[in-house]
């Protein structure tokens, strides 16, 4: 169902044009893809002492519910800034060939919350972050690095020229008991898939994500879908419908593997 966003208008003579499109299932899927696939983003904070905006590049992953996660050094200016003033914004979305402004990107308005060592939330964030950004394992053990959740308040999605949308929190973030249930089962499922079913993962990447190349592994599972990586390449695959129960995960993966394998066989 479409949800109409607030009106942002521009005057063109006597004509008023709404530049914000209605938020629908396709725009929400694009927004979630940009967020779940991001390994890096631009973090904008309020500089301590001056009140000026300060932007910096940070590594990014997502928690089980879709909340952005960052791992930052206490020595960085942006870390001190979000500790003093948690309001911030995160820009995600990679450029590619052609006009950089033609590629989708999203700015997420957030509030930073530090995850304290020794807590279950911090342990889960570390596990998911390292799965998504393996090179970050070098920094996790250093005493001056901390994890922050960037609690989402709203977002501006630009899907390309003339494709602007406003996203509410519940467009990006998933709630409910199934989120924690799936997070508890996630690592076991990832280890199983990467240990025993690399052929299925390759077919997921080729059939559903239209991704090329080889060496794909599964790096994350959530109620909406799963993330695959092959070196620096990342792709996102969605389930046909959002999981309502952790038991649906295996059924969905098996059914999708059969579909992808059948399609691969027909192409040969």
pLDDT for 117 = 93
pLDDT for 15 = 43
* Tokens coding 257: 């593997």
Q: Would you identify the CATH topology of the domain 174-260?
A: Split barrel-like (3.20.180)
| E strand map for the chain | 9-12, 15-18, 40-46, 53-62, 68-73, 87-92, 105-115, 145-158, 164-168, 217-221, 225-230, 233-238
**What residue ranges do the domains of the chain occupy?**
17-173, 174-260
Instruction: Supply φ then ψ for residue 43, to 5 degrees.
Output: -100, 125
| E strand map for 159-204 | 164-168
Query: What is the dihedral angle through the alpha carbons of 16, 19, 23, 26, rounded to the nearest 10 degrees?
Result: 130
Across the 268 residues of the chain, what is the mean pLDDT of every consecutive 10-residue run? 46 55 96 98 96 97 98 94 97 90 95 96 97 93 90 96 94 97 98 98 97 97 98 96 97 97 76
CATH class of 17-173: mainly beta
| E strand map for 82-202 | 87-92, 105-115, 145-158, 164-168
Beta bridge partners of 90: 43, 108
Q: Supply the DSSP symbol for 243.
A: -
pLDDT for 2 = 52
């Amino acid at each position: 169902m479409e949800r109409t966003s607030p009106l942002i208008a521009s005057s063109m003579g006597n004509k008023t044009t709404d530049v914000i499109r209605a938020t629908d299932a396709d725009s929400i899927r694009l927004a979630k893809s940009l967020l779940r696939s991001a390994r890096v983003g631009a973090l904008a904070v309020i500089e301590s002492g001056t009140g000026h905006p300060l932007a910096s590049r940070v590594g990014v992953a997502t928690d089980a519910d879709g909340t952005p996660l960052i791992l930052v050094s206490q020595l960085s200016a942006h870390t001190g800034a979000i500790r003093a003033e948690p309001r911030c914004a995160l820009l995600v979305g990679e450029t590619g060939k052609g006009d950089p402004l033609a590629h989708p990107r999203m700015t997420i308005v957030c509030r930073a919350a530090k995850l304290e060592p020794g807590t279950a939330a911090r342990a889960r964030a570390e596990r998911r972050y390292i799965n998504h950004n393996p090179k970050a394992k070098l920094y996790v053990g250093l005493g001056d690095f901390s994890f922050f959740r960037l609690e989402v308040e709203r977002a501006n999605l630009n899907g390309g020229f003339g494709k602007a949308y406003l996203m509410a929190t519940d467009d990006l973030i998933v709630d409910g008991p199934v989120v924690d249930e799936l997070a508890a089962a996630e690592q076991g499922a990832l280890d199983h898939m990467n240990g025993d079913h690399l052929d299925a993962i390759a077919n997921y990447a080729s059939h559903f994500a239209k991704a090329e190349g080889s060496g794909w592994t599964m790096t994350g599972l959530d109620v909406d879908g799963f993330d695959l990586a092959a070196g620096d390449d990342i792709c996102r695959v969605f389930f046909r419908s959002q999981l309502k129960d952790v038991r649906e995960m295996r059924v969905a993966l098996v059914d999708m593997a059969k579909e992808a394998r059948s399609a691969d066989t027909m192409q040969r």
